Amino acid sequence: MKIYGIPNCNTVKRARTWLEENGIAYEFHDFKKLGLDENTIKQWLTQKPWDTLINRGGMTWRNLSDAEKAVVTDNTTATQLMISKTSVIKRPILVQNNILLALGFDEATYQQLFKQ
């Protein structure tokens, strides 16, 4: 299992803490340091729409100019944005065997996923 995010994000911290407290092994992928490749994002886009993967409430999105926001209209333009500004992605993203299990952190969702 892999969890994607950035280490200083409070939501990512809560998710990682929950996984650790419940004895669930995972690999952390820091996409600020390691980046993301186009194939990973394309895989996610087969499971979630681009406008769900992009965190429009976050500072990265809000700091984009109106012109930059207006360009993001489909999977291709969203992919380019997510590659160039990884912190625009809603996080954490929990993936197992290429299946996107959860987007964001909700304790009830994690409990259901792991039958806790």
In this structure, the dihedral spanned by the alpha carbons of residues 46, 49, 55 and 60, taken in order and rounded to 10 degrees, is 70
Query: For residue 14, how far is the Cα from the chain centroid?
Result: 14
Query: For residue 116, how far is the Cα from the chain centroid?
Result: 23
C-alpha to C-alpha distance for 42 and 62, rounded to whole angstroms = 24
9 assigned to active site = yes
Write down the catalytic residue from 2, 3, 5, 9.
9
Q: What share of the chain is helix, strand, coil (3-state, %, to 5)?
A: 45, 15, 35
Residue whose C-alpha is closest to residue 44's, from 35, 53, 36: 53
Annotated catalytic residues are 9
